[in-house]
Amino acid sequence: MSRKREGLRDFFAHYLPLYKGYKKEVTAAVVGMVLTSAATGAIAYMVKPLMDRIFIEKDVQMLYLVPVFIIAAFVAKGLGTYMQSYAMSYVGQDVVRKLRDNMLSHLMYLGVDFHQKIHSGELISRINNDIERIQVAISTQLATFLRELLTALVLLGVVIYQSPRLALYTLIIVPMVAFPVDYLSKRLKKLSHRSQEKNADLLQRLSENFANYEMIQSYNAQAYEVERFRAFNRSFFETNMKTVRVQLMITPILELVAAVAITIFIILGGREVLIEGTMTTGQFFSFLTALSLLIDPVRRLSNLYSRFQNAVAAHERISQMMGETPSVVSGTRPLDTIERLTFEKVGLRYGQKRALEGIDLEIVKGEVVGLVGDSGGGKSSLVNLVLRFYDPTEGKVLLNGVDARCFDLQALRSRMAVVTQRVYIVNDTVLANVAYGDKAPNRKKVEEALKKANLWDFVASLPEGVDTILQENGANLSGGQRQRIAIARALYKEPDILILDEATSALDNKSESAVMETIYRLKESLMVLIVAHRLTTVERADTILVFEEGRIVCRGKKEVLERDCEAFRQLYRKEKGA
């Protein structure tokens, strides 16, 4: 009980302060709640003059007055409900908009290690579904809870006013509802956690299916994937139905309590009217009407109290995510240019796995360095250190002789560009894709970058040129064209360090030769790191580094390595043999 209440307290302590920026809307909502509650109480109270003055005393004047007041009360109730609902919906939607923005911003600045261990479907579920539950809670449910609470208090006031003695029994019976509601709410919170996890699993499966549809079709695995999805979907359905069962159990419990209460009050009230004469008929019916109307707010309050557990569970999941901190912390020093990159006895571990060990290396602007070796040798790990996706666990990476950790992270990465085998194409124009991240793209620079990437002739032939829209993942481009878009994007950035990580693997020999010719022509203003399995890609490099089990086992030009490095000769033989 205490932990659940702490969860609710923590939830409201976190979100209620956000309402301070919406004074006008909150004021309108409070006025609407008061209007709705007062109108509901007035409707119950008017049963007394309706019965006593019209039907018993036969007051003709009241026959025409009371209906007018009843209509006015219902109009006021409707207007109040509208005011409260609209104002709180606006506040809730806007708070959630800001929460989504903040959450995405937070996630975007977390490290690569975080994004590699958390599936994208899980992140989408947190940003979309979990926040949606919070939005419902802090707008619709909170407003309804406050309105129903105020309405219940007003109706309780009418009940006490009409018969303090009978009202005493009400105060004894109503709290009995709290025990089953509390028990069911605990179960509901657990089920809500489980439901949100199942929903994340479902999104994960969908995300993987849509991202890999070509492989699925080529392996005739449609039925296999549909069957896997059905299993996840069935599990999600069963968890949701358990949640629905628990939520719906509250209603029959409340109905039973209400039936018992009304039966008791009919007997007790009937005695006061018929035998003792201490109540008028109008008083009794006004009391009974207020009591009957009181049942609905109590039922809604109980249901809302249990439903709040959905939002509490969502808040806990979001808080866990927002509590994550970047593993790579930005420095503060500005960085205008990079002239020299140095590794001093650098080592890197991913958990318990050693990725790099004893790396000593210096690269200056104007050099092209090739990185070769079998998969898992450490080539990509070295690139990760250059980009500061990770920090070394041993030694230092220096830029211009200064520890890279001292520099502002955005300034550091703005001086680097990377092209990987996996190309990211946004559903936007060629211009926006090449000038990715630039809010004011330079069309002339885009054209120059496309020419350097050997893609300008193709883009110029398109009906709208650089303004042509590219489909999601570049579906209207060939693999080589997608790769050249990525190379043009890197060249547009005019970096000091250019990293090509299997960047030309999708190109034919002619296109690769043209792109590499451009790279070598621009090399005086760059330092270039080329990660390649195809040795022909790096044969012109100033230095080739041969990696084996996280170490650089050989370094030098191609001719030297062919003569002196057995590991390089093995790689060469494998390639020729293939």
- Secondary structure in 3-state letters for 271-306: HHHHHHCCCCHHHHHHHHHHHHHHHHHHHHHHHHHH
Which position has the higher pLDDT, 376 or 3? 376
Look at residue 364 in the predicted model and tell me its pLDDT.
94
| Mean pLDDT calculated for residue range 298-309 | 75
CA atoms within 13 A on the CB side of 67: 5
Give the helix ranges, DSSP H, for 59-177: 60-108, 112-117, 120-125, 131-136, 142-162, 164-173
Domain 340-577 has CATH 3.40.50.300: yes
Identify which of 333, 388, 336, 331 has the alpha carbon closest to the alpha carbon of residue 494: 336
CA gap 7, 188 in Å, rounded: 13
How many Cα atoms occupy the beta-carbon half-sphere of 95 within 13 Å?
A: 27
Other beta carbons within 10 angstroms of residue 464's beta carbon come to 11
Tell me what percent of the residues of the chain surpass a pLDDT of 90. 20
Torsion of CA 5, 10, 12, 18, to 10 degrees: 180
pLDDT at 193: 74
**Distance in angstroms between the alpha carbons of the first and the last residue of the chain:** 67
Mean pLDDT across 550-562: 91
Torsion sign across C-alpha atoms 539, 544, 550, 552:
positive
**Three-state SS at 137:** helix
pLDDT for residue 1 = 42
Looking at this protein, which amino acid is placed at residue 267? I
25's CB contacts (< 8 A; 6+ apart) are 87, 88, 90, 91
The position carrying tokens 């007997």 is: 267
Is the per-residue pLDDT at 96 higher than 90?
Answer: no
Lowest mean pLDDT among 192-196, 336-340, 408-412, 453-457: 192-196
Q: Cα 228 to chain center, whole Å? A: 24
Question: Counting Cβ atoms within 10 Å, is residue 323 exposed (0-12), middle (13-18) or buried (19+)?
Answer: exposed
State how far the alpha carbon of 213 is from the alpha carbons of 118, 207, 224, in Å.
Answer: 22, 10, 12
Find which of 55-69, 113-127, 489-503 is predicted with most confidence, using mean pLDDT. 489-503
Q: Do 392 and 347 touch, CB atoms closer than 8 A? A: yes
> What is the rounded CA–CA span in Å between residue 442 and residue 388?
28
Structure tokens at 9: 């307290």
What is the model's pLDDT at position 408?
92
470/173: higher pLDDT: 470
CATH class given for the domain over 2-322: mainly alpha
- Tokens 């509208």, residue located: 82
What mean pLDDT comes out for the span 66-78?
A: 85
Q: Check the CA dihedral 397-401-403-404 and report its sign.
A: negative
In sequence order, the 6+-apart residues with CB closer than 8 A to the CB of 541 are: 368, 369, 370, 530, 557, 558
Question: Residue 336's pLDDT band (boundaries 50, 70, 90)?
Answer: very high
pLDDT at 365: 92
Confidence of residue 219 (pLDDT cuts 50, 70, 90): low
Q: Are strands 394-399 and 402-403 parallel, antiparallel or unpaired?
A: antiparallel
Q: Which residues contact 226 (CB under 8 A, 6 or more apart)?
A: none
Measured distance CA(479)–CA(505) in Å, rounded: 10
Overall average pLDDT of the 102-129 stretch: 81
Instruction: Please say if the pLDDT value at position 296 is more than 80.
Output: no
pLDDT-based confidence at 527, cuts 50/70/90?
A: very high
Predicted pLDDT of residue 2? 46
- Domain extents for the chain? 2-322, 340-577
In 10 A of CB 229, how many CB atoms? Answer: 15
Which residue carries 């030694």 as its tokens? Answer: 395
- Bridge partners, residue 353, by sequence: 350
More confident residue, 66 or 562: 562
Looking at the chain, the whole-number percentage of residues with pLDDT higher than 70 is: 90
Position 431 pLDDT exceeds 50: yes
As a residue count, the chain comes to: 578
Task: Give 141's strand partners.
Answer: none
Q: pLDDT band at 528, cuts 50/70/90?
A: very high
CB 441 within 8 A of CB 435: yes
Across residues 285-305, what is the average pLDDT? 75
pLDDT reported for residue 245: 81
Instruction: Determine the average pLDDT of the residues in 319-341.
Output: 90
Q: Is the pLDDT of residue 178 over 80?
A: no
CB 57 within 8 Å of CB 283 = no
Mean predicted confidence (pLDDT) in 235-259: 77
Q: Return the pLDDT at 545.
A: 93
Over residues 380-396, the pLDDT tens digits come to: 899 999 999 999 999 99
Q: Which amino acid is at 482?
A: R
Check if the beta carbon of residue 521 is closer than 8 Å to that of residue 463: no
CB 362 within 8 A of CB 385: no
Write down the pLDDT at residue 39: 86
Residue 205 near residue 228 (C-beta atoms within 8 A): yes
pLDDT of 450 above 50: yes
Mean pLDDT along residues 210-233: 74
Nearest to 248 by CA among 190, 306, 193: 306
Neighbours of 462 (CB within 10 A): 14
Pairwise pLDDT comparison (54 vs 111), residue with the higher score: 111
Please provide the average confidence, as pLDDT, over all residues in the chain.
Answer: 82
Residues 75 and 39: their CA atoms lie apart, in Å, by 9
CA distance 539 to 413: 28
